[in-house]
Amino acid sequence: MSIARNSLDAWKQALDHADTGPLAEMLAEKFFFENTECEQENKESVLAWTVAGGFTIGDWVVYHEDESTICGTHSMTPEEGPALSIMYFADFEVNKCVFWKVHSHLPK
């Protein structure tokens, strides 16, 4: 079982199908998300914008994975505008994600 693949699948399920069940289960109550601008959001806020959609993710690449940390890249394709390349980093405690950081850029 790949914690990285399962985590990315949970994000995709929420974004593409407005099904936040797997994502909500994966995220710890004390979870926070940090975007490229270092703005932070809590679990409730993240679940709200995933249901709103507006973009999808795919093309997973996992660079590192162990029981407490994952790191890699994925694509982010908005309904309008250019696709972005996203670097993600996440920390897990007792099988729950407590932190997810992304850094986005336009691929060359």
CATH label of the domain that carries residue 74: 3.10.450.50
SS3 assignment for 16-83: HHCCCHHHHHHEEEEEEEECCCCCEEEHHHHHHHHHHCCEEEEEEEEEEECCCEEEEEEEEEECCCCC
Number of domains comprising the chain:
1
Q: How confident is the model at residue 30 (pLDDT cuts 50, 70, 90)?
A: very high
Q: What does the block give as tokens for 73?
A: 């890249």
**100 vs 92: CA distance, rounded Å:** 9
Each residue of 35-94: pLDDT tens digit? Answer: 999 999 999 999 999 998 889 998 999 999 999 999 999 999 888 888 899 999 999 999
Structural domain containing residue 81: 3-105
pLDDT of residue 1: 63
pLDDT of residue 80: 87
Lowest-confidence pick of 14-18, 26-30, 51-55 = 51-55
**63 vs 45: CA distance, rounded Å:** 28
Q: What does the block give as tokens for 104?
A: 């986005």
